[in-house]
Amino acid sequence: MKFTYPLIHGRLVKRYKRFLADVILDDGTMVTAHCTNSGSMLSCLEEGAEVWLSPADDPKRKTRFTWEMIWINGDWVGINTSNPNALAFEWVSKGMVPGLEGLTGLRREVKWEDSRFDLYGEMDGSESAADSGRGCFIEVKNVSLKEGDRALFPDSVTERGRKHLNTLIRVKKAGMRAVMLYVVQRMDVRIFSPARSIDPAYGKALDEAIRNGVEIIVVLARITPESIEYHGTLPVEM
């Protein structure tokens, strides 16, 4: 994924009210950027660290910039939680994600029962309905938290995340594929695990999902100020 517009460099002053961050640009201008990450952002916040912002293309928006990444531990960490859905769509469409190469007719934001999943595709390319048994529902989650060499999710308690897992279990029981796809927006990790100390209930829900046949796929994203690129998969340790 290439960034649509050249990014703007600065340094983080502080993040506050969850959705706002003050940044001082290279020319000394202080700006307020939108922070899409509503979580705690543990392990990816450091005041004074280099950041890159994307300019907003909506003149009516209150904040003129969106915070895209921060320099942590010698590399860029992506913190824009709206990017993983677009990345997943691009990578799955191109057959780059192991286990999802055969999906066709990929669509975004497809509703099933009381949930709306990020991606839906057909395993045989047919135009059959979602309840035909050939469908594959994929939920995408952004991962930015790390501890040691381990990527962790979530970074705060997430009832919504548990709801998605429970719905994926029902998808699987209905005879379709159900996939939980985690997009890790940092390169300084070697393995993925649920963050049980932060949200024990999510860890239990993920255990139950796996027992019921929900597939877990974790992919790495390499972040640069020019683009975000696919960089393979991570093993999972529950």
pLDDT computed for residue 128 by the predictor: 46
Q: Evaluate whether 7 touches 20 at the Cβ level (below 8 Å).
A: no
The pLDDT score that the predictor gives to residue 113 is: 87
| Rounded Cα gap, residues 93 and 153, in angstroms | 25
Among left, alpha and beta (phi > 0; psi -120 to 50; other), residue 159 is: alpha
Which CATH code, of 3.10.180.10, 3.40.1350.60, 3.40.30.10, 3.30.420.40, is assigned to 83-233?
Answer: 3.40.1350.60
pLDDT in tens, 66-80: 999 999 989 999 999
Q: What is the pLDDT of residues 141-181, one digit of tens each?
A: 999 999 999 999 999 999 999 999 999 999 999 999 999 99
Residues 6+ apart with CB under 8 A from 2: 226, 227
Which among 78, 215, 38 is positioned nearest to 139, based on CA atoms?
215
Mean pLDDT within 192-205: 98
Beta-strand pair 177-184/215-223: parallel
**Diameter of the chain by CA atoms?**
58
Calculate mean pLDDT across residues 208-220: 98
Q: How high is the mean pLDDT of the chain?
A: 93
- Report pLDDT for 130: 45
- CATH number of this structure's domain 8-78, picked from the four choices 2.40.50.580, 3.90.380.10, 3.30.300.30, 3.40.50.720: 2.40.50.580
Mean pLDDT of 191-214: 98
Fold: same for 8-78 and 83-233: no
Whether the CB-CB separation of 108 and 236 falls below 8 Å is answered with: no
Half-sphere exposure of 71 (CA within 13 A, CB side): 11
Provide the pLDDT for residue 35. Answer: 96
Q: How far apart are CA 41 and CA 43, in angstroms?
A: 6
Beta partners for 31?
Answer: 23
pLDDT band at 126 (very low <50, low <70, confident <90, very high): very low
* Other beta carbons less than 10 A from residue 233's beta carbon: 16
Nearest to 146 by CA among 37, 231, 39, 44: 44
pLDDT more than 90, % of the chain: 86
Residue 147, amino acid: E
1 pLDDT tier (thresholds 50, 70, 90): very high
Main-chain dihedrals φ then ψ at residue 92, nearest 5 degrees:
-70, -40
Q: Please give the pLDDT value at position 57.
A: 80
Rounded to an integer, the average pLDDT of 81-92 is: 96
pLDDT, position 60: 81
> Mean pLDDT throughout 222-229?
97
Q: What is the pLDDT of residue 133?
A: 56
Q: Which residue has tokens 């691009």? A: 90
Q: What is the pLDDT at residue 131? A: 44
Give me the residue spans of the domains in the chain: 8-78, 83-233
